Amino acid sequence: MSISSKPELQILAPAPRKVRQSLAAARLRKHADFQRAYAAAGRKRRSASMSWFLAPQDEPSGSRVGLTVGKVIGKAHERNRIKRRLRDILRRHVELLPIGCDLILHPHRTVLTIEFTKLEAEILRILQQANAEQARANLTVPRRSRNAESVS
């Protein structure tokens, strides 16, 4: 019996992989990146248990997300728990992050007590709104430039 006739020993080409960005690669870490995103974001958006900012990147480099949990939220172990919960949800849905934008989430204290499924639903709603805003911004930029050229 030849080696190639055994199904478990046959060499098959690997299946093509879907490129997926990891959350670790998509996180905002530097203070300067946060400051630039705050300046470019313009306004703060609010949801039931958090505030969030969406800023276009100067040089699009994929999706990035930042989490800020201030000391006013609670003690260190509470802040860490909030960040762990948010990172877990974002890790599950990293492909939904708006491409070419920085998203910064500011959770409120209620994130500690809210059910995980409700928190996940809220994050998904925020990601949908962020993607919709980013799509609107991409559509309106060319219109403005054409109008500006025709007026001159």
pTM over 0.85: no
Q: 22-131 domain in CATH 3.30.230.10?
A: yes
Kindly tell me if the per-residue pLDDT of 45 is higher than 60. Answer: yes
Residues in the chain: 152
Q: How far is CA 80 from CA 11, 40, 71, 92, 94, in A?
A: 46, 27, 11, 18, 20
Give the range among 61-65, 80-84, 103-107 with minimum mean pLDDT.
Answer: 61-65
